[in-house]
Structure 1
Amino acid sequence: MARFAANLSMLFTEVDFLERFEAAARAGFKGVEYLFPYDHSATEIKQRLEANGLEQVLHNLPAGDWAAGERGIACHPDRVEEFRAGVDTAIEYATTLGCRQLNCLAGIVPEGVSQEQAHRTLVDNLRYAAERLGQAGILLLAEPINTRDIPGFFLNRTEQALALFDEVGSDNLKLQYDIYHMQIMEGDLAPTIERHLARIAHVQLADNPGRHEPGTGEINYPFLFAHLERLGYDGWIGCEYKPATTTQEGLGWLDSARG
């Protein structure tokens, strides 16, 4: 049976961040993920996890100035030192939180930087991060993201990501497969997941259009959940969607998915 993690950057946003852990547990979630933990101390977050019996499933490496519109710096040639310092920070948090996988956002290609430069920088940074995380017993993930929501984002298709992973050459680098992003960029969801299952370590969901909860759009989520079950996928599924109304009102799909 699939394990669903609440994305606290998207769900239960009617309460302050640290209160969302209790809200997720009350809703029946056993795991949580979110964009970043860095505005709070790792000890403070760990207390919330333990108090609510939750597993920390995933968070991102530091990704630059999010409020200013940055969406990752891993492909920025002039930010390599900052990226590597962020890897160390993320490892410290993940170690305290018991988080066994971290996601790297490739970022938007900066003005004046060629695709070749961005590619080379991303490969080097992923190679570095995969090794450092591996030493700490943490798996590195990277995620293709659609270019409608984030124009100019460097990594945006499954095959592109996997070819880049081959170039990195690390067995500590896996794919974070976001169903919503890949429906927009390439479709063909079920065959793609089946073909690359061994390289997918984490799945995220939202429906399309609107990025709302399953059942609000065009994606056949009952089929996909059954498909993942048949394939033997044993990772988490992160619920990274914007509730159409409130989080609680939109959780009917979750009861159905759990059977």
Structure 2
Amino acid sequence: MERRQFLQQGTLAGLSTLAFGSAAAAQQNPSPEQTGKTFNLNYAPHDGMFKNNGGNDILDQIKFMHDQGFRAIEDNGMMKREPAMQEKIGNLLSKLGMQMGVFVIDAGDNWKVSLATGKQEFKDNFVNICTKALETAKRVNARWATVVPGYFERNLPIGIQTANVIEALRMGSAILEKQGLIMVLEPLSDNPDLFLRTAEQSYMVCKAVNSPSCKILYDIYHMQRNTGNLIPVMDMCWDEIAYIQIGDNPGRKEPTTGEINYKNIFKHLHKKGFKGVLGMEHGNAFPGKEGEMALIKAYRESDDFL
């Protein structure tokens, strides 16, 4: 390599590193008066989001989250944790005055053709996993659990598929109602095979199921990708929305990293009197301890709407 080319590449690499460091440093430190202050809305981080500052142990991470002002967590994989750990998490949340957000109900059928078929084996699996979910919910004092009805069965008319899904969800709701656990249906954008794609479709399904244990999880990231028109659609579906998740687009990172005006959305939710949990269902834009502090600062900025 020629000396000039080597020096040019070295300079560019150095500038790139400085640019990243400056971007992270500019965002990383919440002001002293904000550290530990509760937010205007109830944002819920997840396991691993603050592992560099809080440590690898989920219990230590929860303590760190609390110290930063968060008053809820969510954990998609909670049902896979040992019951003893579930109880430890539940006890710590209770001690700290924090809420448990969603965990995922999945019998292994969420990411394949399942409930839309109407087959008894899938309905039985769903009822069984809903029954087990009650045990997990009790240990961690959870009120919500995410449900994904699987993929389209493209050999059946859409009306028949929809009726099959509604029937299965009614069966699951009857189980969850016993303990007041709410399944929140999540329309997704991951691939076009998923049966639930929009909030409006989920609204129709919830109306048909007609249960206090069947509501909508409005994931703003997925809804931006699938339909946009975020606030008007949210308002139209409002009476069936029980839980909200966050992620900017593109990239599925924290607010301020993409195109979504989260400060405006959070202000709208506050005006509507939303008192539920907003799950931080996204990754970190920057790595390491600095990236984690930058994420907190992004939430402080987006939460500053009063």
Answer whether TM exceeds 0.5 for this pair. Answer: yes
Give the conservation status (yes or no) of the 8 Å contact 1:72–1:105.
no
1:112-143 C-alpha deviation (Å, 9 max, x unpaired):
56645542331111101112111112122111
Structure 1 segments unaligned to the other structure (5+ residues): none
**Secondary structure of 1:94's partner?**
helix
Find the counterpart in structure 2 of residue 38 from structure 1.
79
TM-score using structure 1 length: 0.87
Percent identical among aligned pairs is 25
Give the conservation status (yes or no) of the 8 Å contact 1:64–1:72.
no
Take 2:57 and 2:126, find their aligned partners in 1: how far apart are those partners?
25
TM-score using structure 2 length: 0.74
Counterpart amino acid of residue 6 in structure 1: P
**1:13-162 correspondence runs (5 A):** 16=56, 18-19=58-59, 20-51=61-92, 53=96, 54-64=98-108, 70=111, 73-75=114-116, 77=119, 78-109=121-152, 115-146=158-189, 149-162=190-203
Structure 2 segments unaligned to the other structure (5+ residues): 1-39
Which 10-residue stretch deviates more, 50-59 or 154-163?
50-59
Runs of 4+ in 1 over 6 A off after TM superposition: none
Which 10-residue stretch deviates more, 213-222 or 243-252?
243-252
What's the CA shift for 1:101? 1.6
State which of 232, 236, 246 in structure 2 corresponds to 1:195.
Answer: 236
Which 10-residue stretch deviates more, 211-220 or 72-81?
72-81
Take 1:65 and 1:140, find their aligned partners in 2: how far apart are those partners?
16
Which 10-residue stretch deviates more, 219-228 or 162-171?
162-171
Q: Residues 197 and 128 (structure 1 numbering): CA distance in 2 closer, same or farther, change over 3 Å? A: same
| Aligned-residue RMSD, C-alpha | 2.4
1:207 aligns with 2:261: no
Counterpart amino acid of residue 299 in structure 2: L
1:140-176 C-alpha deviation (Å, 9 max, x unpaired):
2111111xx2331100011111112222222332111
1:66-90 C-alpha deviation (Å, 9 max, x unpaired):
8xxx369544534221111101111
Find the counterpart in structure 2 of residue 12 from structure 1.
50
Q: Residues 198 and 111 (structure 1 numbering): CA distance in 2 closer, same or farther, change over 3 Å? A: closer
Give the conservation status (yes or no) of the 8 Å contact 2:256–2:302.
no
Counterpart amino acid of residue 168 in structure 1: V
Q: Residues 252 and 74 (structure 1 numbering): CA distance in 2 closer, same or farther, change over 3 Å? A: farther
Q: Residues 249 and 65 (structure 1 numbering): CA distance in 2 closer, same or farther, change over 3 Å? A: farther
Which 10-residue stretch deviates more, 210-219 or 125-134?
125-134
Take 2:46 and 2:114, find their aligned partners in 1: how far apart are those partners?
22
Find the counterpart in structure 2 of residue 251 from structure 1.
296
Take 1:137 and 1:57, find their aligned partners in 2: how far apart are those partners?
14
What's the CA shift for 1:242? 1.1
1:40-90 C-alpha deviation (Å, 9 max, x unpaired):
123312313433523212112124178xxx369544534221111101111
- Structure of higher CA gyration radius: 2
Counterpart amino acid of residue 42 in structure 1: P
**Secondary structure of 2:255's partner?**
coil
The number of residues matched between the two structures is: 253
**Secondary structure of 1:108's partner?**
coil
What's the CA shift for 1:222? 0.8
Which 10-residue stretch deviates more, 118-127 or 96-105?
118-127
1:20-55 C-alpha deviation (Å, 9 max, x unpaired):
433433433211112121221233123134335232
What's the CA shift for 1:258? 3.8
Q: Residues 22 and 112 (structure 1 numbering): CA distance in 2 closer, same or farther, change over 3 Å? A: farther
**Secondary structure of 2:245's partner?**
strand
Q: Residues 113 and 92 (structure 1 numbering): CA distance in 2 closer, same or farther, change over 3 Å? A: farther
**1:169-180 correspondence runs (5 A):** 169-180=210-221
